[in-house]
Structure 1
Amino acid sequence: MTDTITEKAAHGVLLSEPAAGKVKSLLEQEGRDDLRLRVAVQPGGCSGLIYQLYFDERVLDGDAVVEFEGVGLIVDKMSVPYLDGATIDFEDTIQKQGFTIDNPNAEGSCACGDSFH
């Protein structure tokens, strides 16, 4: 987890500077400037809920959108309560590379780490 976090979001989700930088890099590689990063919570997984993290060109009714260093982060209205206070980070180490979500609302997770309750 990085110590450098950008401003607090209206929807309660933070995007770290490394995560925002990685998103920008991925969008530049794709040649797209019309996409935002969407994070959502969906039913599924062995603990009941799973995270969805993907690029989306749509903004739906009730979505909360906040900019972090030029990256739009969307959270749908149903996911906001589950994600309030969560931080999305990007790790790039010899052991692990990818986005991580540190969510204080998760009471527990499964052994695989992909779902929570």
Structure 2
Amino acid sequence: MTSTETPVELSTAPAEAPSNDVQLTETAATKVRALLDQEGRDDLRLRIAVQPGGCSGMQYQLFFDERALDGDVELEPHGVPVVVDRMSAPYLGGAVVDFTDTIEQQGFTIDNPNAQGGCACGNSFCG
């Protein structure tokens, strides 16, 4: 593979990405723990991923996963088991996941310093 064929995800990864992990606020951690308790399983972790798609080019995915993928970054902010795949990690370094529960909005939000632009729904961004 020549350097012109190298995927963008690998060529633009910040050098400090592994040490600049994604974080959960205490509010988000509390919500994730409650959802994990509802599942009644101790083998699940919150997986945070970035996938192509959405109206801005990239979109976030948050889901519970029991799988371990090669190259996963494993974290435990506020005691919550979190995994990020190796392709998503550079896009999520320094991102903060929060949980909002207001009359206007309920759900997880991601404040990502790596996002160059976003969309009105807050679910996708430019990487």
TM-score strictly above 0.5: yes
Q: Which residue of 2 aligns with 1:53?
A: 62
> TM (normalized to structure 1)?
0.86
Q: Which ranges of 4 or more aligned residues in structure 1 deviate by more than 6 Å?
A: none
Unmatched runs of 5 consecutive residues or more in structure 1:
1-8
Unmatched runs of 5 consecutive residues or more in structure 2:
1-17
For 1:96 and 1:111, the matched residues in 2 are separated by 13
> TM (normalized to structure 2)?
0.80
Q: Which has the larger radius of gyration?
A: 2
Percent identity over paired residues:
67
1:72 matches 2:81: yes
Number of aligned residues: 109
Instruction: Determine if contact 1:10/1:64 at 8 Å carries over to the other structure.
Output: no
Q: Which residue of 1 aligns with 2:100?
A: 91
Coordinate RMSD, CA, aligned: 1.4
For 1:101 and 1:95, the matched residues in 2 are separated by 17
Name the SS for the 1:88 alignment partner.
strand
For 1:97 and 1:112, the matched residues in 2 are separated by 12
Q: Which residue of 2 aligns with 1:116?
A: 125
The alpha-carbon deviation at position 110 of structure 1 amounts to 2.0
